[in-house]
Structure 1
Amino acid sequence: MAKAPKAPASFETALSQLEELIQAMESGDMPLEAALASYKQGIELIKLCQGKLADAEQQLKMLENDELKPLDLPNV
């Protein structure tokens, strides 16, 4: 059995890998077994990205004393 690829270190790397997987799968040239493996890897990348986003949101809440404030931008 093949080893699972190492999890990406950053959100951006995981997102890039996910985009590459999607493009490869959408090409329609991928054999069934490879497509299933890519799908499984994609699910893991999605979970990783969601976790990193949740962590970032939690950090923002802590920085803002659990009160996220709307961003006030000057009218341009």
Structure 2
Amino acid sequence: MTKKNISFNDAIAEVEAILKKIESGVLDVDLLSESVKRASELIKICQKKLRDAEVEIEKIFTESQKEQ
């Protein structure tokens, strides 16, 4: 799955898996910066998806209030 079309839930699950590896010490130090970078990218994707959803929901509410 490319990062552009990863679902919100899959992105969150991947961030949680990375965090669990970091917290448990299982993650190799050589991969630490790469993993943190990936987690950061995933968090940005999630933030964008949340902002997009918020805008869409606000639009729906605005349109429904105009109809009343």
TM-score (norm 2): 0.81
CA–CA separation in structure 2 for the residues paired with 1:25 and 1:6: 23
- 1:31 Cα shift? 2.0
Number of residues of Structure 1 aligned to a counterpart in Structure 2: 62
Point out where structure 1 has 5 or more consecutive residues left out of the alignment: 67-76
- SS of the residue corresponding to residue 62 of structure 2 reads coil
**Which amino acid letter does the alignment assign opposite residue 57 of structure 1?**
E
CA–CA separation in structure 1 for the residues paired with 2:62 and 2:16: 35
Task: Write out the 4+ residue segments of structure 1 that deviate beyond 3 Å after TM superposition.
Answer: none
CA–CA separation in structure 2 for the residues paired with 1:60 and 1:41: 29
The Cα RMSD (Å) is 1.7
Q: Which position in structure 1 is the counterpart of 2:7?
A: 10
**Which amino acid letter does the alignment assign opposite residue 25 of structure 1?**
I
**Which amino acid letter does the alignment assign opposite residue 2 of structure 2?**
K
- The alignment-based identity, stated in percent, is 32
CA–CA separation in structure 2 for the residues paired with 1:64 and 1:45: 29
1:34 aligns with 2:34: no
Point out where structure 2 has 5 or more consecutive residues left out of the alignment: 64-68
TM-score (norm 1): 0.73
1:20 aligned residue (17, 20, 25)? 17
Structure with the higher fraction of residues in helix conformation: 2
